[in-house]
A and B are shown apart, each in its own frame.
Chain A
């Protein structure tokens, strides 16, 4: 029972951390719209992996930036799923 409860806690925590690290717009319709041959609803979500293969790198890459930092949300133009895994 305790293990099950802990598992649920980890899942909930993971969802919360993932969503907060990815920002409010990461999974929005605008981001997922795509144009041309690329884009797609799964692209933006899959690219937003706050951990990756190396947790410390993920933490540095996804650390909050100051308000004056310019961040561009680009609709991917490549075919297929985003990397880094399962690239052709």
Chain B
């Protein structure tokens, strides 16, 4: 059974949840890990979108360092599609299978949950809102969502493909008809080479919202994948098969930017766009996300951290008060509500191909919904550009060398 067919649109259905539990076991779980997850210090049980893998690889090792004292925690990541992770957390199903964690030196490792595990998730992260996963229904009142950074998504092809652009209407035909005769879009006519995710994937849901066909209604003949890493690997493999020209996939920027020798993102022309097709960045080779940040490129979404709260709005978890405190601390650090010296979350977000909200000039209230102009209270435009290797033209500053104008933030003189 392909991943694209195993998850029903009724995200909370018993079938969906049973499958979610089954798929909790990660692809690496064929060989059992030697470490029990429950033996790790200060665990945070965290089912979350696979799109977060790159960022966690930067953040989790820092948090695992015993030198942090009370802030030390082990992020135990269960990499899943967004809505499957959401269902696990919403229904508080016991966590089983194999998970991923990081050692302080950056080494990625695996651990096993006990077979009779009664441990539940402490928090969860996904790239769409709960209302999207629930098919438009309001999420339970006790689930609180913390919006965070922006993830850019897009259509990608193998580096050996000559294709450079796709329109929203072309994408609609691809995903609705899957290469069906008389409804084809050259050169992407073979559904085996159209690499998608599954109906519970935030990537698929977000792309679908921008091409006129919901991610839950894509053609069953398309080549579905469980995780974004699976799409990346399958797409890269086609560079060597002679089929590169026929291959297209959907992916997130943190994945394609880490594989630029093998993958290229396509320019996208949205519905109602007159200018033509544009890349997420200002050019095919730049890395400034200019078109995402100013509203010309609409395929993006906000990451959300989701916790359960009591009647007073305090985080709660079935794993006890200490676990709840760790979950709250983790969210505070990841959303910038608090900071600790060794952890530069903004830089990590930028370094993994994502955009902190302080560098955005547009926002949206609803997944895939209308985009509106937006100016952050504490902008970080200069930092964002400089960290991406773009000359921002901003003066540098410090406590000893204040800005002649504007505000010193992250070492640069921002306009405000």
Chain A interface (Cβ < 8 Å from any Cβ of B): 21-23, 26, 35-38, 47-54, 56-58, 60-63, 65-66, 68-74, 76-79, 82-84, 87-88
Contact = CB atoms under 8 A, between A and B. Distances in A.
Most buried by B among A65, A83, A88: A83
Rank and list the top 6 A-B pairs by shortest CB-CB distance, nearest first.
Answer: A60-B295, A52-B272, A84-B271, A70-B283, A48-B274, A22-B274
Interface in B255-272: 267, 269-272
B169 A47 contact: yes
Contacts of A57: 272, 295, 298, 370-371
Contacts of B164: 72, 74
A21 B272 CA distance: 11
Given A38-B185, A56-B373, A69-B291, A61 B272 contact: yes
B170 A71 contact: no
A83 to B, nearest CB: 4
B156 interface: no
B355 to A, nearest CB: 16
Given A56-B370, A56-B373, A60-B362, A71 B275 contact: yes
B6 interface: no
Contacts of A61: 270, 272-275, 295-296, 298
A11 B218 CA distance: 40
A49 B185 CA distance: 22
The interface residues of chain A, by DSSP majority, are classed as loop
A76 B169 contact: yes
Contacts of B277: 71-74
A84 B272 contact: yes
Contact of A26 (B173, B274, B279, B284): B274
A79 B271 contact: no
24 contacts: A23-B274, A23-B276, A38-B170, A57-B371, A60-B295, A60-B373, A61-B273, A70-B279, A70-B283, A71-B275, A71-B276, A72-B164, A72-B165, A72-B269, A72-B276, A74-B165, A76-B167, A79-B182, A79-B183, A82-B167, A83-B271, A84-B212, A84-B271, A87-B169
B157 to A, nearest CB: 14
A20 to B, nearest CB: 10
A74 B209 CA distance: 22
A32 B172 CA distance: 20
A49 B274 contact: yes
Contacts of A73: 276-277
Interface in B158-211: 164-170, 172-173, 176, 182-186
B168 A83 contact: yes
Interface string B335-372: 00000000000000000000000000010000000111
A23 B169 contact: no
B282 interface: yes
Contacts of A38: 170, 185-186
A37 B277 CA distance: 20
Contacts of B372: 56
B294 interface: yes
Contacts of B276: 23, 71-74
Nearest to B184: A37
A77 B248 CA distance: 15
Nearest to B164: A72
Contact of B295 (A63, A72, A87): A63
B278 interface: yes
B208 to A, nearest CB: 13
Given A61-B295, A63-B295, A76-B170, A69 B283 contact: yes
